[in-house]
Amino acid sequence: MIEKAKKSLANVIAKGAVHIVAGSFLLKFVSFFGSIFLVRLLSKSDYGILSYYENIVGYLIIFMGLGLATGLLRYVVLAESDEKKKATFIYAVKRGTLINISIVFLGLFYVTAFPHPRVFVNHRIIGYLLVLSIPFLYLTNTSLSTLRALFKNKLYSYVSFVSSALTIVFRVLGAAMSGLKTSVFFQLGASVISAFFSTCLILNILFSRCMKVKLDKSFTSSFNNFSLQIMLTNALWTVFMLNDMFLLGQLTGSETTIADYKIANVIPANLSILTSSISIFVSPYFTKKENEKDFTWVKKKFRTVLLSTSIIMGTAAIFCFVFAEPLISFIYGKNYLSAIPIMRILLLASFVNNGVRASIANILSSIGKQKINLIIAGIGIILQIVLNVIFIPKNGATAVAIISVIVYFAMTALLIVAWRIESRRF
């Protein structure tokens, strides 16, 4: 038994799992590590204002490229030749960039015209700068997805490290130099640099010898449809957190309440790195086996992945729950101790969401069952909005956290039922 486990572990490491984990960790680490310095360098009010506009721009980021960057994880794998893989990447870059230009104009108008609560109105420049970073963030994401789909795991981790390091250094340097506005401006600069170098890497090194080919309309149509479906599903999952922050801002009008909730959610949200790395690593393999009609392998590995993510997330959540007070005090300071009760509730939500729900949804998506995720996500978001509107005015951030637990439990139960039904068809 032990020897079998050792062989399995060695096989996973040989396929690049360590590099996938490292690369994914660095991407999440940007948010977590950067927030530590920003909280220390910015006032609680400024951090709340930044969180408010990041949350608004988060709605726009959902739609960037209409999901083509994520779709590359599947369609670069499915492309038969290197020439077709290159053409798929270029198609995603061109089409996605045109879409993103429209999103930028829409975002600039939204930041300008939306009736923000009074405390946020005089800080629209933060929103403008964040909106302008969307096309460049998309280009970096297309490059990372392509590297993963090509199984270039070491290169994936290196590119992740470079983009992460640039964001950390630029963002913190800007905050240290002259505060919030400079920090966000420098962040935009980091996005531009990362996008340029990652795109050049794909085109001028990996695909430099590939001839130009034209993609079939059936292929691009399938690519677009799948990307749109996965975008809508991911949008609905992402909107859960965005809605929480948005409704808190609109219904309370308090930047400090937003700051507390954002800090309470930083550790629970970033624990997802422990399981998202696994998802990023296994997705192409599930897609490949689905293409080979090897559903016995799919069902067997489904159980392995779900058990692994549940154990990992459960262990991490319990640790953070027990040591919540020293963690918050050490990382963010005593000003944010009020966030501890909310954080503990969100740790339970994170376990259900990242340890169970996300793993099932990711595997269903990898084998082409994206519509199931979309339907269940739609049900969940309706439930979340209704409950938040009812309970936030009286209970504030605590209500938001409890509702997150309830909604994630409901969606996970529906996904388990859906998987059982689908697995019987294999």
With beta carbons less than 8 A apart as the criterion, state whether 296 and 283 touch: no
With beta carbons less than 8 A apart as the criterion, state whether 390 and 334 touch: no
**236 lies in some domain:** no
E-only strand ranges, 195-333: none
If asked whether residues 281 and 422 sit together in one domain, one would say yes
If asked whether residues 164 and 96 sit together in one domain, one would say yes
What DSSP letter does each residue of 177-234 carry, written as one string? HH-HHHHHHHHHHHHHHHHHHHHHHIIIIITTTPPP-PPPHHHHHHHHHHHHHHHHHH
- Going by pLDDT thresholds of 50, 70 and 90, the confidence category of residue 5 is very low
If asked whether residues 176 and 274 sit together in one domain, one would say no
pLDDT of res. 368: 67
State the distance between the two ends of the chain, measured CA to CA, in whole angstroms: 29
pLDDT of res. 110: 92
Q: How many CA atoms lie within 13 A of 27 on its CB side?
A: 23
Which of 11-20, 84-93, 254-263, 362-371 has the least mean pLDDT?
11-20
Distance (Å, whole) CA 381 – CA 384: 5
**223 lies in some domain:** no
43: left (phi over 0), alpha (psi -120 to 50) or beta: beta
If asked whether residues 375 and 426 sit together in one domain, one would say yes
If asked whether residues 134 and 269 sit together in one domain, one would say no
- Confidence check: pLDDT of 238 > 80: no
If asked whether residues 129 and 264 sit together in one domain, one would say no
Number of domains, the chain: 2
pLDDT digits (tens, 9 = 90+) for 347-374: 999 898 888 888 787 777 767 677 787 7
pLDDT digits (tens, 9 = 90+) for 139-179: 999 999 999 888 887 788 888 878 888 888 898 899 999 88
Mean pLDDT of the chain: 82
**What CA dihedral angle connects 97, 103, 105 and 108, to 10 degrees?**
-130
**10 lies in some domain:** no
Domain extent for 249: 242-426
CB atoms within 10 A of CB 37: 16
If asked whether residues 209 and 330 sit together in one domain, one would say no
Distance (Å, whole) CA 133 – CA 57: 10
- Confidence check: pLDDT of 16 > 60: no
pLDDT of res. 210: 84
- Going by pLDDT thresholds of 50, 70 and 90, the confidence category of residue 9 is very low
pLDDT of res. 57: 92
